[in-house]
Amino acid sequence: MLPYPVMMWLGQQLGTLMYSLGGYRYQVGEINLKLCFPEVDELARQQLLRDNFTSYGIAFFEVGMAWWWPTERLNKLIQLEGMENIDALQGRGALLMAIHYTTLEVGASALSSRHSIDGMYRTHKNAVYDYVQSKGRRAREFAGAVYPREDIRGMFKALRNGRIIWYAPDQDYGRKQSVFAHFFGVTAASVTATAKFAKIGNAAVLPFSHVRLPNNEGYRVTIHPPLENFPTGDDMADAETVNRKIEAFILEQPDQYLWVHRRFKTRPEGESRPYPKKK
């Protein structure tokens, strides 16, 4: 209910507090930045980590905006670009290939207020939060179905029927559904599902980005042109293509990425995990 600049200021204070408390996720973020940006000096990495926690603090308020603000109020803050790439599909299904920016909820909500899209998500362990999350993500005028990550058959059917599905392939989902491709020069378990969905669902893959702009100017939400010559049929080559696009998105606004995710927890045989044990 508060004015947007006030919420942004409160989010910054919350993020500063989270950063100062440290904890396990602080350690994960620190390790990830060291692995992905070894050429950056320690002071610069610490500043990036501090800015990253500020972004997490702001994201607490952005979730509320995305789920409960009136559409008219939210859209005043949105610069939406690339709708012509959706129009060019002419009824063909597509994967809206996103990444885990801290602005994830705002980006999805902004698009679903103007065009019908479905979503894919992982069921939350807390049943109450899972209910609130599911209800919030269906709040916009054009919000469609939300598929649990396990509903592969439902995803294929929706794509063949011309639906657009939000999907983020940038996390570690384990060894069984991945190949070890490079992510910022580090071998990382990278899902092969993006290529499989595109092939079996006869779907285009539209990269999708959403970044928070400085000085309380709002958000730039962009639907990019579809990946070309994708999929190739080579799981490793396709995973590398996806990872290059993810890296490019991250470098656009590295402080707004989800660095506290254990991106490198699944390792090739003989390699140990880089993260400490959870307490």
CATH number of the CATH domain containing 222: 3.40.1130
Assess if residue 112 is contained within a domain: yes
The answer to whether 264 touches 274, Cβ cutoff 8 Å, is yes
Assess if residue 80 is contained within a domain: yes
pLDDT digits (tens, 9 = 90+) for 144-182: 677 767 777 888 898 999 999 999 999 999 999 899 999
**At 138, is the pLDDT very low, low, confident or very high (cuts 50, 70, 90)?**
confident
Query: How does the average pLDDT of the chain come out, rounded?
Result: 93
In this prediction, residue 178 carries a pLDDT of: 96
Burial environment of residue 121 by CB neighbours within 10 A (0 to 12, 13 to 18, 19 or more): middle
User: Which of 15-29, 34-48, 70-84, 107-121 is predicted least confidently?
Assistant: 107-121
In this prediction, residue 142 carries a pLDDT of: 57
Assess if residue 265 is contained within a domain: no
Closest CA to 29 of 207, 266, 255: 255
pLDDT digits (tens, 9 = 90+) for 15-60: 999 999 999 999 999 999 999 999 999 999 999 999 999 999 999 9
Assess if residue 131 is contained within a domain: yes
pLDDT at 143 over 70: no
Assess if residue 231 is contained within a domain: yes
The H-or-E segment that residue 207 falls in is: strand 204-212
pLDDT at 120 over 90: no
- How many domains in the chain? 1
Instruction: Give the residue numbers spanning the domain of 116.
Output: 4-256
The 3-class SS string of the chain reads: CCCHHHHHHHHHHHHHHHHHHCCHHHHHHHHHHHHHCCCCCHHHHHHHHHHHHHHHHHHHHHHHHHHHCCHHHHHCCEEEECHHHHHCCCCCCEEEECCCECCHHHHHHHHHCCCCEEEEECCCCCHHHHHHHHHHHCCCCCEEEEEECCCHHHHHHHHHCCCEEEECCCCCCCCCCEEEEEECCEEEEEECHHHHHHHHCCCEEEEEEEEECCCCCCEEEEECCCCCCCCCCCHHHHHHHHHHHHHHHHHHCHHHECCCCCCCCCCCCCCCCCCCCCC
Whether the predicted model's global pTM rises above the 0.75 cut: yes
Assess if residue 173 is contained within a domain: yes
Question: What's the rounded mean pLDDT across residues 8-12?
Answer: 98
pLDDT digits (tens, 9 = 90+) for 207-247: 999 999 999 999 999 999 999 999 999 999 999 999 999 99
What's the CA gap between 142 and 154, in Å, rounded?
A: 19
In this prediction, residue 90 carries a pLDDT of: 92
> Helix count (H) and strand count (E) of the chain?
10, 9
pLDDT digits (tens, 9 = 90+) for 245-260: 999 999 999 999 999 9
Assess if residue 92 is contained within a domain: yes
Question: What's the rounded mean pLDDT across residues 5-17?
Answer: 98
Assess if residue 271 is contained within a domain: no
Which of the 8 DSSP states describes residue 140?
A: S
